[in-house]
Amino acid sequence: MAAILDNPDLRFAFWALVKCVVILTAMLGVVSYLIYVERKVAGHMQARTGPNRVGPLGLLQPVADILKLFFKEEFIPDAANKIIFHLAPVLAVIPALVSFSVVPVGPNFTVTDINVGLLLFLAMSSLGVYAITLGGWSSNNKYALLGGLRSSAQMISYELALGLSTVGVLLIAGSLSLVDIVRAQEHVWFAVYQPVAFVIFMIAAFAETNRAPFDLPEAEAELVAGFHTEYSSMKWGMFFLGEFMNVITISSIAITLFLGGWNGPWLPDSLKFLWFFLKLGVLLFFFIWVRWTYPRLRYDQLMNLGWKVLLPVALANILVTGTVIHWLGNR
């Protein structure tokens, strides 16, 4: 028995499992209240109060929403491709959760610190396309299909800008491990050295998560509800869950790459994770703020922005960063 407990592999697996459970529960809790916050903020921005009936200040609204989702009747179109129709919502949730496993929350809390953490994030964000594309296709509905096609075009286009904007950070930090990148920002945030990359990353992040002003895959004014037109009950809820989890994950990556991760003054190492959560809160509010402030882009404007503005600027940023680092290194 003692031999089993001392086995390093098993201990590692056990602790990784515990951390996964903690993160999964925390994510679900945060997402349900993020929806509440989004509705509240939206309400106040439009001079309304937002949800305030269920519980004090409407704080039990998420519970009511989730119960409602579970008890709603589920409708599946007759001509839908059943297996893929069921698979798509699952695929919407998994990539966001997997990429959160490499996010360093605090000095002592990372599920795993692998030496290609950033690449894992990029890989998972590139797999995120499948959920929306397949959801749209399998519904056998023209609006859903158009939403799915738009999403695949949009996400492929913005993935390039997203990936290239992180190269500047890599050049400075010299590592693909997110923990190393955070440690390299102990004194100065990379957003200071890489302001252009930070802006590109954030714009591409909005496009990757299909949030307004880049929410063309759903575009309710022209595509009914876009890729999830035919989804109902908890399957629809899973798409929503996936979208919000993606927002949380990509904000965490933005904090890790550009805003210093857990680094901040005053707090001891064991409490540094509070800085991370503070920054996360600010960025999440930023996502909501933008959604209720900016109108949606037209499709050709979206493509032009991605290919003709963000991509060349990101490439130029890499060139300048590389030149400066070489010059500083040779001095």
Partner 1 sequence: MIAPALFAVFAAIAVVSALSVILQRNPVTSALFLVVTFCSLAGIYLVLHAEFIGMVQVIVYAGAIMVLFLFVIMYLNLGRDIETGLQIALRRGVGWLMGFALLAAGVALFRHPWAAGPPAPPGPPVGNTQAIGLLLYSRYLFPFEVTSMLLLVAMVGVVVIARGRRAPGPAADLPPGAATGAEPRGDA
Binding residues for partner 1, rule: CB under 8 A, are: 9, 81, 84, 114-116, 119-120, 122-123, 126-127, 129-130, 133-134, 137, 145, 148-149, 152-153, 155-156, 159, 163, 176, 303-304, 307-308
Which of these, 260, 244, 240, lies nearest to 179 by C-alpha position? 260
- CA distances, 86 to each of 28, 155, 181, 230 (Å): 20, 22, 38, 12
Q: Are 151 and 135 in contact (CB under 8 A)?
A: no
- CA distances, 315 to each of 145, 161, 171, 257 (Å): 33, 9, 13, 18
CB of 127 to partner 1, least distance (A): 6
CB of 227 to partner 1, least distance (A): 12
CB of 102 to partner 1, least distance (A): 11
Q: Are 263 and 178 in contact (CB under 8 A)?
A: no
End-to-end Cα, the chain, rounded Å: 59
Nearer to partner 1, 10 or 278 (CB): 10
Nearer to partner 1, 116 or 315 (CB): 116
Nearer to partner 1, 122 or 283 (CB): 122
Nearer to partner 1, 41 or 149 (CB): 149
Give the Cα separation of 170 and 176 in Å (integer): 7
CB of 87 to partner 1, least distance (A): 8
CB of 306 to partner 1, least distance (A): 9
Helix axis angle, 8-45 to 273-291, nearest 10°? 40
Structure tokens at 65: 């929403």
By 3-state DSSP, what share of the chain in percent is helix, strand and coil, each rounded to 5?
Answer: 75, 0, 25
**The Cα angle at residue 182 between residues 187 and 8, in degrees rounded to 5:** 135
Nearer to partner 1, 58 or 128 (CB): 128
CB of 119 to partner 1, least distance (A): 4
DSSP code of residue 139: T
Nearer to partner 1, 292 or 307 (CB): 307
Nearer to partner 1, 159 or 230 (CB): 159
Structure tokens at 119: 């690449």
CB of 125 to partner 1, least distance (A): 8
CB of 122 to partner 1, least distance (A): 6
Give one word for 140, left, alpha or beta, with left for phi > 0 and alpha for psi -120 to 50.
Answer: left
Nearer to partner 1, 67 or 156 (CB): 156
Residue type (1 letter), 73 = E
